[in-house]
Structure 1
């Protein structure tokens, strides 16, 4: 065996126990590691091991190693075998490809490290069955090499186009976040895979597992057809159903024909995209008689809430037959034009939440907690459900416990929300103006942030104004005349 290979083998055999598995590496692999290290040294670059230099030199001075440091230049050896001048995590995150040879057995912890760092793993472990390979297409996130053809790896990775590299790195991040970022996700993924094996007729497709948001959020009991999920419209080249169902949350008794809820009902019913209106009666008073409701061209269904709680508006009611759900508070004032425009925007972003009342979070350094503000700026991180459109699959997921939480979880599952260029009018008696209610929202946001372990909300500036929509200013100024007068 070449002396340099014996030297590396001797080094690893005398170092800390975490490196003892290198004794079993093949001659070719050790030779490959040495060449990579030599190239890095000549270019004043990377290293092989993360042991400190003094420990490296002590290892080669050990009695059981017949190859002494004097056999090679000590400073060169130090550069070859340690990260004395570089931070390991920093180098990992700045790397494009990460070599993942076999560890003590076929597998290696370096594989998960590479995924977390968005570094494309270069697998060198023949016979290793990669985790969850039954449902994950690892060819979209890793380079699978052959241990017998080690010296071809540098040429292989150099030949990968930049667009392909970007796609590989994006997929590493998706797979890490979806299935490996916590013990809980690993366990849940395992259980869901077992369920798909048992219930093969309703199992998830490969597309569900390998594209955002992942198999854990694509419930097979909801539907076996990909077109029923908002995440796959673009992939399948289809569009959502061109109508919406409005759900109006009512908590106040109906005592006057001039109440905001009746005006809102009429305005929504006039929308060309409205299929039906559901009034969720969460008031303590009995249901009003049918003649108390205004006559409309679309069906109006009044449902009495069982628990009388705000989150009941997000339940998957069987009467909802459209993809889109327009969630409304009883005291929201919207024109028909605004309703039409919001739905038109949502059709372009069916996987997101499109609405009017925008809010934002910020870090309050004085109180050392997250703050919640309704200040009107061009920057926001939440869209409240007082006037928002979302896909009905969100209700099936049952992720909405309060309005703030709706968007916290939305930030985790999907893309940022989309808000329109103005907010709807609210009546003076609106509970949103109540300071106590505002404080409750802030408390709610901080509690869930602590449970998640991080703040998932991301600030956005994606606002759409009707007069600039699709840049057809002159046409849309005529089409949406009412909005310009608001």
Structure 2
């Protein structure tokens, strides 16, 4: 303890500035570094000069928070370089400090300045009889990291909602809790301070669904590590372990809005069911709680069983996995909670350092997971670029020429060469052209055309350019423009050579047509952009025996990919640029797979076969082509962005 500070308890009460925003109550000019810096005030004892009462006593929980900041990358011992200031005054629980002395204690701090750039940690605000959802303390313009916010008291973009910590989770076993559907109860209600009207609703629901609901209460006394069923057959259960017997666990309104039950429930991998109107959930700014929790209006509590039963088993498993991920990464202890809160504030001050919403909410975000492009933002970030995946067998000269052409494309991020020849080793990397972009070679175990669509972990970009080793006629402008089109339509296949399917009335079958027309329904993946999610779907979720048939016949992998994407999106592919001729000047026809007379017949058979497997014809025929702006206009070439676009 550094020193005592004498306080005047009759200091005027001002409360807080309810209108604070990031732009007017935070001085970002103090944050001159590219990282957040937090100064911790020395430990002090704040005494009332009249009564000798202490404003607040330091709890073990608040000591852990201070220690976490002290040992983190955010700490600075120099207040002159600090962006934010953290008082050593413990305001976590309003029942544990004198609210009349806490305000003067804060005002006495050397750098207080009406709370500007100061952080206040609080988990249990308000006291009897009102139990306000914000501290009854003079905090002026300080940022509140609070556990009891509702939508009326939370200042979006300024305050940070944090969870109410429960010391019970530190006492439970660290053994992993497995997810699954085989739990005893659909819903466990074990909250002690549940409102009487909610308790009555559950009693009514149990009359018809007794086997689905486990409702527990206090076992008497002050014991919080056990829950008991109602009389006459009162049975005792260990808490919070009993929560792992339910697929869903209830969190309802009580005297205070924020409840420690939420963390206790998530520690047992139970899916929270929240019935607290206007409650601001922990870290709501960055966490998508719809992936891990069910929210109900308090007035709809009577329909809780019907709503939970409507959730599919697949969705339940996904939510359990998300609960485990959120708890482990953001909620498992006070250290994790503190660091998460500081990172959220840092992302507001330095948005270029911020994680995306997807990164905050994605399980196994470091394992190159894929995302359905149907739900992506309307424009993919340009800076990411694309990965060129080249499928090759033994045409080394053509391969090297293609690599040299690709490396000058501005949006190229990296090149992945898929060597499909198991009888011969690929050329040594030292013999490849020297390029400025990363290049990797993978030799496959089997010669399959589907190898071009495998979701290789080496692919770090969302966009993939699948290209054959003999497509060396495309220009840098054409490829760069193709990527720009894909960025606007990431759920489509975007490419250069196009084809169409037609119905043959004489044979009553679908027919593959390669004639040049203005209509298209397929884009060949020998030169096309697609989202890496489709590679994942092609490899692991292709319906029927399509993938096996493609690998066995060494044909139609491009048609299969077009079917897959069209079936899931109902969108046609997009052809870019007018080029229609795709011939390899270095190759002879005898080397090309498409030279086989049976090739075209098989492709027609593919379309017919695939449509039967899907039970419909998902391919859509359109008359559309994407060309650069000013492509055909009489305009100075130097002012056009893409000049080198091939002709018919």
- TM bracket (short chain): 0.5 to 0.7
Q: Which of 475, 481, 484 is equivalent to 2:643?
A: 481
The corresponding residue for 2:597 is 435
1:357 is aligned to 2:500: no
1:418 aligns with 2:574: yes
Instruction: Give the Cα separation in 2 of the matches to 1:288 and 1:265.
Output: 14
- How far residue 425 of structure 1 moved from its aligned partner, in angstroms, is 2.2
Query: Which is richer in helix?
Result: 1
1:252 matched to 2:391? The reply is no
Deviations 1:148-200 (A, max 9, x none): xxxxxxxxxxxxxxxxxxxxxxxxxxxxxxxxxxxxxxxx9833123234334
After superposition, what is the alpha-carbon deviation per residue over 1:430-470, rounded to whole angstroms, capped at 9, x for unaligned? 32343322222221221111111111111012201235569
Residue 323 of structure 1: how far off its partner (Å): 1.0
User: Structure 2 CA distance, aligned partners of 1:436 and 1:341?
Assistant: 35
Q: In structure 2, do the counterparts of structure 1 residues 232 and 241 end up closer, same or farther at CA, with 3 Å as the change threshold?
A: farther
Alignment of 1:91-170 (within 5 A): none
Aligned to 1:460: 622
- In structure 1, C-alpha distance between the alignment counterparts of 2:417 and 2:614, rounded to whole Å: 33
C-alpha contact (below 8 Å) 1:247/1:313 kept by paired residues: yes
Residue 404 (structure 2) aligns with: 266
Q: Post-superposition shift, 1:407? A: 0.5
Q: Which runs of 5+ in 2 are unaligned?
A: 1-204, 206-247, 249-309, 327-360, 548-556
Aligned runs of 1:234-313 on 2, under 5 Å? 234=377, 239=381, 241-254=383-396, 259-283=397-421, 284-313=423-452
Distance change (3 Å), C-alpha of 1:202 and 1:326: farther
Change over 3 Å in CA distance of 1:365–1:227 after alignment to 2 = closer
Give 3-state SS (helix, strand or coil) of 1:332's partner: coil
Cα deviation, residue 480, structure 1:
2.7
Asked if residue 195 in structure 1 is aligned to residue 317 in structure 2, the reply is yes
Give the deviation of 1:306 after TM superposition: 1.7
- The verdict on how the C-alpha distance between 1:325 and 1:484 changes in structure 2, with shifts beyond 3 A counting, is closer
**Residue deviations 1:330-368 (CA, integer Å, cap 9, x gap):** 111222221111111111111211001101000011111
Q: Is the 8 A contact 2:524 2:559 kept in 1?
A: yes
- Cα RMSD of the aligned pairs, angstroms, is 3.5
Contact 2:322 2:363 in 1 (8 A): no
Question: Take 2:625 and 2:638, find their aligned partners in 1: how far apart are those partners?
Answer: 16
Are residue 343 (structure 1) and residue 500 (structure 2) matched? Answer: no
Aligned to 2:531: 391
Does the CA contact (< 8 Å) of 1:357 and 1:383 recur in 2? yes
Q: 3-state DSSP class of the match of 2:507?
A: coil
The alpha-carbon distance between structure 1 residues 451 and 338, as it changes in their structure 2 partners (threshold 3 A), is same
Q: Which residue of 2 aligns with 1:231?
A: 374
Q: TM-score, normalised by structure 1?
A: 0.52
Is residue 562 of structure 2 the alignment partner of residue 407 of structure 1? Answer: yes
Counterparts in 2 of 1:234 and 1:307: CA distance versus 1, 3 Å: same
Count of matched residue pairs? 283
After superposition, the Cα gap between the structure-2 partners of 1:438 and 1:221, relative to the gap in structure 1 and judged at 3 Å, is farther
d(CA) in 1 for partners of 2:633 and 2:321? 49
1:280, 1:304 within 8 Å by CA — same for their partners in 2? yes
Partner of 2:516: 376
- Preserved contact between residue 240 and residue 350 of structure 1 (Cα < 8 Å): no
Q: Residue 262 of structure 1: SS of its match in structure 2?
A: helix
**Cα deviation, residue 223, structure 1:** 5.8
Mark the CA change 1:424 to 1:485 in structure 2 (over 3 Å): closer, same or farther. closer
Three-state SS of the structure 1 residue aligned to 2:451 is helix
Aligned partners of 2:496, 2:478: CA distance in 1, in Å? 9
For residue 468 of structure 2, the aligned residue among 329, 334, 337 is 329
Distance apart, 1:252 and its partner CA: 2.1
Give distance in 1, aligned partners of 2:466 and 2:508.
33
CA distance in 2, matches of 1:385, 1:476: 32
C-alpha distance in 1 between matches for 2:496 and 2:315: 39
Instruction: Name the CA distance, whole Å, in 1 between partners of 2:528 and 2:311.
Output: 32
Q: Secondary structure at the match of 1:370?
A: strand
1:319 counterpart = 2:458 = yes
CA offset digits 1:194-245 (Å, max 9, x no partner): 32343342799xxxxxxxxxxxxxx97676999954223336x763653110
Which ranges of structure 1 fall in alignment gaps of 5 or more residues? 1-126, 128-133, 135-187, 205-218
Partner Cα separation in structure 2 for residue 196 and residue 246 of structure 1? 32
Q: 2:447 aligns to what SS in structure 1?
A: coil
